[in-house]
Amino acid sequence: GQNIDQPTEMTATEGAIVQINCTYQTSGFNGLFWYQQHAGEAPTFLSYNVLDGLEEKGRFSSFLSRSKGYSYLLLKELQMKDSASYLCAVSDSNYQLIWGAGTKLIIKP
Amino acid sequence: GAVVSQHPSRVICKSGTSVKIECRSLDFQATTMFWYRQFPKQSLMLMATSNEGSKATYEQGVEKDKFLINHASLTLSTLTVTSAHPEDSSFYICSARDVAGGDTDTQYFGPGTRLTVL
């Protein structure tokens, strides 16, 4: 079956760095996405990785290792507004998105 | 770019009535749109994939006669919840995939519609 695993909840301190991991087992792979979702709102696109390596975009970076079925989202210089759920999703062989359950990130002052 | 709108943002209706939700891609064309449902504190659940000019593909367990989907143009898809019941109360979110997106089949989400059935 297809499976995406990510931690349910993480807590970090304002100004610090946090890494949210995602492991996946899917039928085929056409890229991995990270989305941010604030409570009561729809997800917003953060990053897309299809090749191994690190993609940096401002305070956010996303890493992919296809051989390990593993990705992480790195958030630097955390701000209170970064408190949200972070969803990992993999595009499978049919270009269907398989979603993780999301990681709720709590930022403390 | 890549803006998706949804209307209405919030709707309250009586049990037994039908509710139509519109999803529009404002600055790009989308041959494929997706409809999701999200219950509180849960992840997104794909309901159906909507392809312009053809019938929608529904996920297992989703009643196609209850959740009518129409994708009449490259920028508009509608979801109609027929004979709504309180258990249909949820957050309905659409997303659209940019035709010109190339290999990156990024989905861009609308702001969502919160449906409450009394």
Which of A55, A96, A104 has the highest number of chain B CBs within 10 A, making it the mutation to test binding with B? A96
E strands along chain A, which residues?
Answer: 3-5, 9-13, 18-25, 32-37, 44-49, 53-57, 60-65, 70-75, 84-91, 97-99, 103-108
All residue ranges of chain A with pLDDT < 50 are none
Q: Are A29 and A66 in contact (CB under 8 A)?
A: yes
| pLDDT of A65 | 98
Q: Assess B105–A contact: CB distance below 8 Å, yes or no.
A: yes
Q: Assess B109–A contact: CB distance below 8 Å, yes or no.
A: yes
The mean pLDDT of chain B is: 89
Whether B104 shows a pLDDT value over 70: the answer reads no
Q: Assess B104–A contact: CB distance below 8 Å, yes or no.
A: yes
Whether B1 shows a pLDDT value over 70: the answer reads no
Mapped onto helix, strand or coil, the DSSP state of residue B38 is strand
- Which of left, alpha, beta for B27 (phi over 0: left; psi -120 to 50: alpha)? alpha
Q: Which residue from A minimizes the CA distance to B92?
A: A42
Comparing B43 with B58, the larger pLDDT belongs to: B58
* Per-residue model confidence as pLDDT tens digits over A3-30: 899 999 999 999 999 999 999 999 899 9
- Count of beta carbons in the 10 Å neighbourhood of residue B79: 26
